[in-house]
Amino acid sequence: MAFLLGFHRPGYTTMQAFIVKRLLTLLPTLLFTSLIVFASIRLIPGDVIDLMLSQNDISTGQDREIIEAALGLDKPIYAQYFSWIGAVLVGDLGRSLWKNVPVSEQLAATLPITFEMGLLALVVALSVAIPIGIFSAMRQDTGSDYIARSFSLLMLAIPSFWLGTLVMVFPSVWWRWAPPLDYTPFLEDPLKNLRHMLVPAILLGLSLSAVTMRMTRTMMLEVLRQDYVRTARAKGLKENVVVFRHALRNVLIPVVTLVGLQAPLLIGGSVILEQIFVVPGMGSLLLEAVFQRDYPVVTGVFLVVGVAVLFINFLVDLTYGFLDPRVRY
């Protein structure tokens, strides 16, 4: 195996070998994910044919068979899966059952939007959670610590769709201001784009920050009790240096893992907030596709989500090695 991956060939660093190895181990997971998604979407009661027929007021058994055959839904489910996966492996995700456009085109249009939203939310989450977590730990059991912890509890308890609805409704009632809802592509007008995306991204980021903040605080308190922190203090270092040079990296190791585990939450939250704030991202695409039982679109979105989650965890592993010298690739 090591030989096949070129571990010891000159020109390959162990880092590159690690990346190749990790990517290869992702394949079976992806295959398994696709199987689950493919099956589960077809288990939702009510199928696409019924929907199409009811919308068009035609209901003869003959029409049903024609449509089924046209969409390839007359074959047994395993046959459908194999023809689908066969196509996926050569880069064809199929076509939307309703719109007759390639799924890959729809994904290409929506994925960057959701990616931007997720990235913004992550930046918000980390820049709220980590400083407040550190601050809270350094001021353990003081008033500001309690305020910070209550805030994080609140963020944990309030669902972001509810907060999103509040943000939509109350400012418009009170100040006749509402968050802008007209989407502009980032490349067209970055400022206008951000004005629209920032509100949902902040809401999503805040809801993600809660757990990360608590984790940062707990880990910081834990790390500040370690022997090596006492060694650092015995050198005569200022508390700030002790915290930022000696403790923080040790704290971030578990925090980064947690952030990776939150990736599905990030994507899930994005689906809901996109809906509220009319962001034409993958979340909106998915929701519409589920309502319409547009199987290829749903499976396509989930495939992308699956790849994204695995990829984020892969990034987490890389970060881990960067933060912790004990990790060897």
Partner 1 sequence: MKASPETPMAREGSLLAVRELSVSFRSERGQVRALDHVSFEVEEGETLAIVGESGSGKSVTALSILRLLDDAGQIDNGSIEFEGRDLLHLDEPSLRHIRGDRIAMIFQEPMSSLNPVLTIGKQVAEPIRLHRKLPWSIALEQAAELLDRVSIPESRHRLKDYPHQFSGGMRQRVMIAMALACRPKLIIADEPTTALDVTVQAQILALLKRLTKELNSALILISHDLGVVARYADRVAVMYGGRIVEIAAAAALYKNPQHPYTEGLLASQPSLHSTPGERLQAISGQPPDMANLPPGCAFAPRCHYARAECRASRPPLEPVAPGHERACFGFE
Which residues of this chain interact with partner 1, rule CB under 8 A?
225-228, 230-238, 245-246, 249-250, 253, 323-326
| Nearest alpha-carbon partner for 208 in 143, 264, 252 | 264
Alpha helix positions (H), 139-226? 143-157, 160-175, 190-224
DSSP-derived letter for residue 9 is: S
Q: Give backbone dihedrals phi and psi of 11, rounded to 5 degrees, phi first.
A: 95, -20
DSSP-derived letter for residue 90 is: T
- Minimum CB separation of residue 232 from partner 1 in Å reads 7
- Minimum CB separation of residue 324 from partner 1 in Å reads 6
Helix (H, G, I), strand (E, B) or coil at 121: helix
- Minimum CB separation of residue 138 from partner 1 in Å reads 13
Nearer Cβ to partner 1, position 146 or 177? 146
The answer to whether the beta carbons of residues 145 and 153 sit under 8 Å apart is: no
- Minimum CB separation of residue 326 from partner 1 in Å reads 5
- Minimum CB separation of residue 112 from partner 1 in Å reads 35
- Minimum CB separation of residue 227 from partner 1 in Å reads 4
Nearer Cβ to partner 1, position 8 or 245? 245
Nearer Cβ to partner 1, position 150 or 231? 231
Nearer Cβ to partner 1, position 242 or 305? 242
Cα distances from 328 to residues 313, 324, 325, in angstroms, run 17, 9, 7
The answer to whether the beta carbons of residues 88 and 103 sit under 8 Å apart is: no
> What does the alpha-carbon distance between residue 170 and residue 167 come to, in Å, rounded to a whole number?
6
